[in-house]
Structure 1
Amino acid sequence: MKTLFFLSLTISIYFISKWAYGKTNKIYFSPLVIAPLVIIMFLILFNIPYSSYNEGSKWITALLQPATVALAIPLYRFYPILKKYFVEIILSVLIGSLSAIYLAYLLGKLLKLESTLAHSIIPYSITSPIAMDVVNLIGGVPTITAVFVIMTGVLGMIIGPYYIQLFQIKSDIAKGVLLGTTAHGAGTAKALEIGTGAGAVSSVCMILAAIISFIISPWLMSFIL
């Protein structure tokens, strides 16, 4: 019964916020913003432990990985374009991923964060399922990582389009690289709003960034620490 209740609560909040976002196109109505805030307020108001909510909604969490795999659908449609620009895409993602990891490390040093907390922010720019695996490998706290991943996605959705406008980026390839590399799933959702081509490139970049970070993060952390 508890599982059904929390599943229904989460799904209802998601669809209501998605409807509001579709009607207004205001970022603060995005499910990424509204859903966590409403659920947190609900848990606090009724004094419900997060562990109880997490246990009840774990089936949604389990769908993260197949949802990520489903992004391969637009990749098939735009395979010729992706093949043509593959070198440019992979180099851009590699530079972006390395920069993100190192910037997170520098932030931890600058703020003199305790090592576990510092490790938790390292995978902030990659998609949630892989970020959880990475943070477990490098010795961080998955819950903290999840917060930073969501914050990064939301900020990427907000700031990304302004960068595109500011630098007058016309290419869907460049738009997809920007949003997918820096803002993972949320950025890919925004890229799909721009166009299916940008969305396909963003999907590739999100997946590549996750793979690169998964491989490089443990090695890089052992090297710089």
Structure 2
Amino acid sequence: MSYFIAIASLAGTVAIFYACKMFYVKYKKEWLTPMLVTPIIIILLLLLTGTSYQSYNTGANILSNLLGPATVAFAVPIYKNFNLLKKHALEIFLSIAVGSAVAIISSFIMALVVGLNNELVHSLVPRSVTTPIAMDISNMIGGSPTLTAVFVMTTGILGSLLAPLIIKVFRFHRPSSRGLMLGMGAHGTGTSKAFEFGELEGTFASLAMIVAALISIVLSTTLFPAFEHLVVNILLP
């Protein structure tokens, strides 16, 4: 029975995702994005069938394990456009470094303002990093990797939904601006959205996501502990 559930959960998740993708490609509505609709459908099916998350995850966890290799695959468009990225290397690095620092600090402050406990605070901090690396960072700084995955997914979905509106309002016409914003602000989901705008946007988003992950590892183990100590022990004794 457990093997049946594992196979059904894996095959069902893939089938639901591709069905949602077909609807999204046909109707092009932001609220139909597969990253938003697929989890909702799966949650409803689990509730209706009385299937526990643990049982469902026996098969679906294979997809989670593929997140790492999928992230590495983003190196292909980076390689194809390496000369262009090299030309703008300084601007890219500085913008992503600032974005990573702001993401970490703002997440920490937001968590304090709403009164989250220590574990939730540390789980929220790496929310702007791609899932597999965010979960590792969360584990290093004392958070819950599972909760971090939820925060990362929420950030990515909201970022990809709001991105078209932000791009339109602020008139971001350059592929670099669009791509870096989506990759930094919404990581993997944002990168997927960036490729809908064009290959260059997707390339810049891929680079932003990868560099942001590397920078965030450093900042989360250096800047964040120092900032947390300053706020908690000095400013808010």
Range of TM-score over shorter length: over 0.9
The match for 2:56 is 53
The match for 1:107 is 110
| Alignment counterpart, residue 125 of structure 2, candidates 122, 125, 143 | 122
Structure 1: which amino acid aligns with 2:32?
F
Runs (5+) with no aligned partner, structure 2: 229-237
TM superposition shift of 1:8:
0.8
Runs (5+) with no aligned partner, structure 1: none
**Conserved in 2, the CA contact under 8 Å of 1:94 and 1:212?**
yes
The match for 2:94 is 91
User: What percent identity do the matched residue pairs reach?
Assistant: 40
The match for 1:32 is 35
Structure 2: which amino acid aligns with 1:95?
V
**Number of positions where the alignment pairs a residue of Structure 1 with one of Structure 2:** 225
CA distance in 2, matches of 1:125, 1:222: 17
TM superposition shift of 1:77:
1.2
Task: Tell me whether 1-10 or 88-97 shows the greater mean CA deviation.
Answer: 1-10
The match for 1:156 is 159
TM (norm. structure 1) is 0.97
**Conserved in 2, the CA contact under 8 Å of 1:101 and 1:122?**
yes
The match for 2:234 is none
Q: Deviations over 1:139-189 (max 9, x none)?
A: 111222112111111111121122221121221111111111101011111
Q: Deviations over 1:103-148 (max 9, x none)?
A: 0000111111100011111111111111111111111112221121
Q: Deviations over 1:188-225 (max 9, x none)?
A: 11111111011101100000111111121122332123
TM superposition shift of 1:67:
0.5
CA distance in 2, matches of 1:127, 1:115: 22
The match for 1:136 is 139
**Conserved in 2, the CA contact under 8 Å of 1:138 and 1:221?**
no
CA distance in 2, matches of 1:28, 1:15: 16
Q: Secondary structure at the match of 1:109?
A: helix
Q: Secondary structure at the match of 2:126?
A: coil
Structure 2: which amino acid aligns with 1:86?
A
The match for 1:223 is 226
2:79 counterpart of 1:76: yes
Q: Secondary structure at the match of 1:113?
A: coil
Q: Secondary structure at the match of 2:11?
A: helix
2:11 counterpart of 1:8: yes
**Conserved in 2, the CA contact under 8 Å of 1:153 and 1:186?**
yes
The match for 2:44 is 41
TM (norm. structure 2) is 0.92
Rg: which structure is higher?
Answer: 2
Q: Secondary structure at the match of 1:52?
A: helix
TM superposition shift of 1:2:
2.4
CA distance in 1, matches of 2:205, 2:42: 29
**Conserved in 1, the CA contact under 8 Å of 2:6 and 2:55?**
no
